[in-house]
Amino acid sequence: MTPTINPYPKLFSPIALGGTTLKNRLVALPAGTSLVQEGIPSHGDVEHFERLAAGGVGMIVGGATVVHPTTTLRSRKLVEAYQEAVIPATAEKVEAVHRHGSRLVTQLVHLGREFIGGESDSPPVAPSPVKTVRDAYPPHELTIGEIEDIVEGWRVSTENLVAAGVDGLEVHAAHGYLVAQFMSPLTNRRTDCFGGSFENRMRFGRMIVEAMRSAMPAGRILGVRLSGEEEIPGGMTIEDCLPIAEFYAGLGVDYLSITHGTRGTYVKDSTQPDAVAVPSASRVRAATGLTTLVGQRIRDAATAEHILKHGHADLVGMARALIADPELPNKSAQNRLLEIRGCLGVNQDCRAFDPHLHCAVNAEVGRGRHRQAGVRASETKDVYVIGGGPAGLEAARVAAERGHRVSVFDKDTALGGAVRVAAAAPHRSTVIDVIDYLGNEMRRLKVEVNLAAGIDADDFAEIRSIADHIVVATGSRPAPAPEWLDGHPTAGVDEVIVGDPAGISVGEAVVVDDGDGFWPAYNAAESLAQRGWRVTLATPLTALCSRVPAESAGPLLRRLGDAGVRLRVAHAVAPGSDGRTPLLQPVFGGAATALDESLIVWHGPRQPVLDLGAFAGDDTIDVVGDCVTPRRIGHAIAEGYRAGCEI
C-alpha cells in the first residue's frame, strides 16, 4: 500500500512551546461547553475534550474558566477554577487529552462588567463605572483591595489547575473582558495607579502574570489572548495592541493568541470574511518575535497551511470547525478532505447554550454519541429514504455507515431541499456546505441517489412492499399568501431569494415577516434591496431578528440599513375596510398606510410536506425533519442521525 503523503507539512509539524513540544500546530481554541455542574466540569465536558484530542489537534485551550466568585453566573455553568473541588475533574480531563498525545491549556478569565447573557448574584465590576450597551446595569468601580483580591483569585486558580496537571494557562485579555477593560482608555478612566498612563493601565495585567508565574512550575506554558482590533467605536485597534503585545512579551509569556472583536462580535458568522485576524497576528508576530497563535473563522487545513507558510503565525486555531468535526485534523493529514463535516458559521446551536453546547451539523455535540452509531447492524436492511434534504441525507449516511443498503429519492434535480434556497441568499452561501458534505458521503458510502424522482402515493405503496425500512423526510413548503391578497402582486420569500418575481418590474416591496423572526424574510429583503428594489420589512413582533443568533443580528441589520431597507416592528399587513386593499397597520394602534402599489412578499410559517398517506404506528417507518413540523437544520440533522442509528 502506498503511504499517504501529508498534504499540509507545515501544519502537521511539531513545535516547541514553553517546556513541551506540540505534535502539530493546530489548536482547538477556547469554546466553553456549559457541560458544567456547580462550577465543576461534568463527564460530558471531559468526553468533549477527549473527542477533540482524539481528532488530532496538537493543543486544546479550554475556555469559560473563571477565577473569582465575583464573575460567576447563577447557572454555575462556567468552570470555577478558584474552587479546589475543580482539581479531580480537571485531572480527568488532562488524562483524557494526554491519552491522545495532545496538550491541554486552560484559559482563565474575569468577565468584569460583562455577564455573557446570564444573571449573576454579584454586581458587575470594572476599573471604572462605564456601562456596557449589552447589559442593564453600570458596573461597580473596583477598589484597590478588590483588585488585589481578584489577582489572588488568578493565583489560586493557577495553583488548582497546576495541581490537576494542565500543561499551561492562558490569560484572557481580549474581547472586552476585565483585563481588556483595564487596558483600554475607553473603559478605564481611573486616576490612581491603575489608570491614566500606559504603564498604569497595564499594571493589572502585570500583577496577574506575576501571580500566575509564582504558582507555575518551570516548563508550564503561559499565553495571553489579545484583540488585535476591538471593532467598537473608541475601542482598541492594532496600533494599540502592538505595544500591549510587546509589554506581555517583555513579561516572558510563551505565546500570544490574536483575535478580533468584543463580546457580541468576536464569533464571526458566515457573512464575515474568513481568517479576519490574520493581518493583526502577522504584525504582532513581527513586532514581538513571540510564538503567535491566530484563530477566528479559519475553517480548513489549507487556510491554516497558507498562514503558517507565509509566516503570519506559528500556530493556527479553530473552534467551531472542530466542534462540527473533531476529526478534521486527522482527516486533513490523511487527505480525506471530502469526508470533513464543515462548519456553516450560522451560530445557531453552538452559541445558544440551551442548556449547553450543541452543533447544527454534528448531532453528537451536547447529546453524546448514540450507542449504535458506527456499529454494524446485526441485520442488513434495504432502507429507502424519501427526501434529499439534511434530515434524509443524515439518516442515509448513518444507516449506510452501519452497513444497510440505502437508496435516496428526491423530487428535485439537486439535493438540499430548503437549504439550497437559504444558500442562495446574500452572504449565506456556506449553508450549502452541509449538503455538499452529505452528498460526498452518499458517494463514499455507495448510497443510491435518485434525483427528479418524486414519490407519489402509488410509488410509496410499491416502496413499502419492498423496503425493510423507510425514512420519510419530505421537508416543507413555503406558506401561501393569505387569500385576501388574491389579485394583488405577491411573492414568497423563497421566490425572491432565488430571483426576481416573474413578470414584476423593480419597484416598491413590503416583505412581511409574520412572526418568525428568523432569516428568511430578512434574506428576502436584502436580496431585493441588492437588486434595486425599495424595500420595507414589516413584522408584528416587537423586536427585529428576534430568532437570528445574536452575533449575526448586528451585521445583518447594518447591511439592511446601508441598503436603505426600512424596518417596521409591531406592524402587520392587514386588509383594509374593503377586505382587499393591503394596509401597513401598527399593531398597537395608530394610522395605517395603504400599500396599493407595493409588491407584498409574504413569509408565514412553512408547511410540512406529507402527502404519502397514513403510516402512524408503523415501526418500519421513521418521519424526520420539516415534514414533522418545520424547524431548523440542527433539528433535521439530529432526527436523521437518531433514525439512522436506530434502524
Q: Residue 457's pLDDT band (boundaries 50, 70, 90)?
A: confident
**In whole angstroms, how far apart are CA 522 and each of 501, 513, 553?**
17, 8, 10
Where residue 1 falls among pLDDT bands split at 50, 70, 90? very low
Please say if the pLDDT value at position 639 is more than 60.
yes
Asked if 549 and 621 sit in the same domain, the reply is no
Please report the pLDDT score of residue 64 as a whole number. 87
Per-chain mean pLDDT for the chain: 95
pLDDT at 505: 82
**Dihedral sign from CA coordinates of 15, 31, 108, 174:** positive
User: What's the confidence (pLDDT) of residue 546?
Assistant: 94
Report in angstroms the alpha-carbon separations of 158 from 46, 145, 168. 19, 20, 9
Q: What is the mean pLDDT of residues 481-486?
A: 93
Q: In angstroms, rounded to a whole number, what is the distance separating the alpha carbons of residues 473 and 387?
A: 5
Assigned domain for 543 exists: yes
CA 625 – CA 460 distance, rounded (Å) = 18
With respect to residue 442, please indicate whether it lies within any of the assigned structural domains: yes
The answer to whether residues 419 and 552 belong to one domain is: no
Residue 172 resides in a domain: yes
Distance in angstroms (rounded) separating the CA atoms of residues 95 and 165: 8
Residue 374 falls inside a structural domain: no
163 vs 64, residue with greater confidence? 163
Residues 350, 323: Cα–Cα separation, whole Å: 8
pLDDT one-digit tens code per residue, 119-169: 899 999 999 999 998 888 899 999 999 999 999 999 999 999 999 999 999
- Per-residue pLDDT of 177-221, as tens digits, reads 999 999 999 999 999 999 999 999 999 999 999 999 999 999 999
Does one domain contain both 585 and 620?
no
- Mean pLDDT of all residues in 591-612: 89
Is residue 521 located within the same domain as residue 636? no
| Whether 108 and 75 share a structural domain | yes
Confidence of residue 612 (pLDDT cuts 50, 70, 90): low
In the three-class reduction of DSSP (H, G, I as helix; E, B as strand; rest coil), residue 62 is classed as strand
- CATH number, residue 612: 3.40.50.720
Residue in 82, 72, 80, 161 with CA at minimum distance from that of residue 119? 72
Read off the DSSP letter of residue 143. Answer: P
Average pLDDT over residues 48-77: 96
pLDDT at 611: 66
* Cα–Cα distance for residue pair 593/591, rounded to 1 Å: 7
Report the CATH number that the domain containing residue 137 is assigned in CATH.
3.20.20.70
Note whether 159 and 255 are same-domain residues.
yes
As beta bridge partners, residue 471 has: 385, 622
What CATH number does the domain containing 542 carry? Answer: 3.50.50.60
Measured distance CA(247)–CA(642) in Å, rounded = 52
Is 102's pLDDT higher than 70? yes
Q: Is the pLDDT of residue 576 over 80?
A: yes
Residue range 283-313, pLDDT digits in tens? 999 999 999 999 999 999 999 999 999 999 9
Residue 10 lies in a domain: no
pLDDT digits (tens, 9 = 90+) for 367-381: 999 999 999 999 999
Q: What is the pTM of this model?
A: 0.95
Least confident range from 8-12, 377-381, 615-619: namely: 615-619
Same domain (yes/no): 406, 530: no
Number of domains composing the chain: 3
The residue with cell 430571483 is: 499
CA–CA separation, 25 and 291 (whole Å): 11
CA 287 vs CA 173, 184, 225: distances in Å: 18, 20, 16
Residue 270 is predicted with a pLDDT of 87
430 and 445 together in one domain? yes
Range of the structural domain that residue 520 is part of: 483-605
Band (pLDDT 50/70/90 cuts) for residue 2 is low
**Domain shared by 628 and 487, yes or no:** no
Other CB atoms within 10 A of residue 83 CB? 16
The answer to whether position 1 is within a domain reads no
* Residue 358 clears pLDDT 70, i.e. is over it: yes
Q: What is the mean pLDDT of residues 327-351?
A: 96
Q: For residues 171 and 317, state if they share a domain.
A: yes
Domain for residue 352, yes or no? no
Indicate whether 202 belongs to any domain.
yes
Residues 634 and 577 in one domain: no
Tell me: do 600 and 614 sit in the same domain. Answer: no
